């Protein structure tokens, strides 16, 4: 396991049914999910999952309904027990944990933000935010300052004495995030955390999460079925289908190099100019270049560069990061990147 890997999943299988170990042998022999259900009355939830989740980064797991994404995230804190495989957190296989060690993992090292908020209606917003220390027996006076700090940070100043039913959906989800932050855990698990929100509120919550992550550098595992959301949030993107990983990697790379027709279908309707960044299409060079038309940031969207260039494909820009040149962006390369290339069967087979 690499030094910068916080969570490593190795050979993870989950089969639902009366005889999962017997069904596992069929899965390892290559039986399909549909055939396993039809002929053996077992459901294949996860099929040989191998993923490294980097420390301090956001790993997004996405796929359509039934792809296995929610099943996968529930293995990370052992809400679901696997049929086979390993889940390593900081190099330790949590499947070997005693009940006491597992409780410690859930209380101190991992927090979870749910789709349906999961707030306790009889507790105030402050008490909900301080749920983790309260479970340990601490009184509100002992955790009030910490909980208030995070409520303020997520934009809920002065709301501590309210009850969940007095808040909007977006505000309730902010309480859920404050609760996760008050637990002071290194890892945040977020299962479709924003999917129940209205589009504008959802965008605000995504922006809030990005701001918090830039400040706190948590290891976040985020589940979604929305590709736009995945591309916006992910440092590392894992795409599932029928319980197996179709493709994983840096989102920009996946968008430019889909390895499978399923991925091509996913990314086909994406506004590439709004999602792709200059760093993905620039010529990497630190050498001085004459005759450039200006500077752009390495993380600027192609959409913003097009506006800067006024649509002129003959222009060239120095790409800057932290005050130094990291590349040169040629507008002709930018335009080519906006057109999805036809799938190369040789490349797909090689991958």
Assess whether 107 and 227 both reside in one domain. yes
pTM, two decimals, is 0.86
The label of the residue with tokens 């170990």 reads 21
* One domain for residues 232 and 314: no
**CA-CA distance, 348 to 86, in Å (whole number)?**
28
291 & 241 share domain: no
Domain annotation covers residue 16: no
Q: What are phi and psi of 327, to 5 degrees?
A: 180, 180
Angle, CA 245 vertex, CA 241 and CA 246 arms, to 5°: 70
Answer yes or no: are the C-beta atoms of 226 and 237 closer than 8 Å: no
The residue length of the chain stands at 351
User: Quick one: pLDDT band at residue 114, thresholds 50, 70, 90?
Assistant: confident
Residue 1 lies in a domain: no
Whether residue 289 sits in one domain with residue 212: no
Same domain, 191 and 294: no
Q: How many domains does the chain have?
A: 2
Helices 169-182, 140-153: inter-axial angle, 10-degree rounding: 120
Nearest to 186 by CA among 150, 213, 156: 213
Last residue of a domain, one of 242, 267, 292: 267
Which residues have CB under 8 Å from 89's CB, separation 6+?
Answer: 6, 7, 76, 105, 109, 187
Which pLDDT belongs to residue 80?
Answer: 95
Neighbours of 119 (CB within 10 A): 22
* Residue 114 domain flag: yes
Indicate if 79 and 144 belong to the same structural domain.
Answer: yes
Reduced to 3 states, what is the DSSP secondary structure of residue 59? Answer: strand
Please give the Cα distance from 122 to 271 (Å, whole number): 44
Q: What is the CATH number of the domain that holds 329?
A: 3.90.1280.20
Give the pLDDT confidence score for residue 2 in this predicted structure: 61
348 pLDDT higher than 60: no
Average pLDDT, the chain: 90
Same domain for 208 and 329, yes or no, is no
Whether 88 is covered by a domain: the verdict is yes
For residue 156, being part of any structural domain is answered with yes
pLDDT tens-digit readout, 299-334: 999 999 999 999 899 999 999 999 999 999 999 999
* pLDDT (average), residues 123-144: 89
Are residues 177 and 305 both part of a single domain? no
Mean pLDDT of 339-350: 52
Following DSSP, what letter does each residue of 169-189 receive, concatenated?
Answer: HHHHHHHHHHHHHHTT-SEEE
Same domain, 151 and 232: yes
Evaluate whether residue 178 is within a structural domain: yes
pLDDT value of residue 345: 45
Pick the last residue of a domain from 233, 267, 301: 267
Residue at a domain's end among 248, 267, 286: 267
Same domain for 170 and 195, yes or no, is yes
Q: Say if 221 falls within a structural domain.
A: yes
The predicted structure's pLDDT at residue 195: 85
pLDDT band at residue 342, thresholds of 50, 70 and 90?
low
Q: Based on the fold, state whether residues 214 and 305 are members of the same structural domain.
A: no
Asked whether residue 350 carries a pLDDT value surpassing 90, the answer given is no
Is 129 part of a structural domain of the chain?
yes
Domain encompassing residue 61: 53-267
Going by C-alpha positions, the residue among 219, 195, 216 that lies closest to residue 206 is: 195
pLDDT of residue 218 exceeding 90: yes
Sheet with 219-224: list strands edge to edge: 110-113, 187-191, 219-224, 58-62, 236-241, 244-249
CB 52 within 8 A of CB 2: yes
pLDDT of residue 349: 38
Q: Are residues 71 and 118 both part of a single domain?
A: yes
Percentage of the chain beyond pLDDT 90 is 69
CATH of the domain at 227: 3.40.50.300
Give me 328's structure tokens: 């040169």
């Amino acid at each position: 396991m690499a030094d910068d890997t916080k969570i490593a999943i190795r050979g993870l299988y989950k089969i639902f049914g009366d005889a999962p170990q017997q069904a596992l042998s069929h899965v390892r022999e290559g039986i399909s999910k549909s055939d396993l259900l039809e002929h053996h009355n077992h459901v294949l939830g996860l099929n040989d999952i191998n993923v490294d989740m980097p420390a301090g980064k956001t790993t997004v797991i996405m796929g359509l309904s039934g792809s296995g994404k929610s099943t996968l995230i529930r293995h990370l804190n052992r809400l679901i027990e696997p049929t086979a495989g390993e889940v390593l957190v900081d190099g330790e296989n949590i499947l070997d944990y005693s009940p006491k060690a597992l409780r410690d993992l859930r209380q101190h090292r991992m927090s979870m933000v749910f789709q349906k908020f999961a707030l306790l209606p009889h507790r105030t917003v402050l008490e909900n935010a301080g749920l983790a220390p309260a479970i340990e027996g601490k009184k509100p006076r002992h955790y009030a300052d910490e909980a208030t700090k995070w409520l303020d940070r997520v934009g809920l100043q002065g709301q501590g004495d309210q009850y969940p039913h007095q808040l909007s959906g977006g505000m309730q989800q902010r309480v859920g995030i404050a609760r996760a932050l008050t637990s002071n855990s290194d890892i945040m698990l977020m299962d479709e955390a924003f999917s129940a929100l209205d589009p504008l509120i959802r965008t605000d919550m995504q922006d809030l999460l990005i701001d918090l992550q830039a400040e706190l550098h948590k290891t976040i595992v985020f589940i979604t079925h929305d590709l736009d959301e995945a591309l916006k949030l992910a440092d590392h993107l894992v795409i599932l289908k029928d319980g197996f990983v179709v493709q994983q990697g840096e989102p920009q790379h996946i968008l430019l190099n889909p390895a499978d027709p399923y991925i091509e279908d996913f990314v086909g309707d994406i506004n590439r100019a709004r999602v792709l960044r200059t760093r993905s299409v620039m010529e990497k060079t630190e050498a001085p270049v004459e005759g450039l038309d200006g500077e752009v940031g390495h993380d600027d969207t192609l959409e913003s560069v097009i506006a800067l260039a006024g649509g002129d494909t003959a222009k060239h820009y120095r790409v800057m990061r932290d005050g130094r040149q990291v590349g040169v962006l040629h507008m002709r390369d930018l335009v080519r990147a906006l057109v999805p290339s036809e799938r190369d069967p040789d490349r797909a087979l090689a991958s």
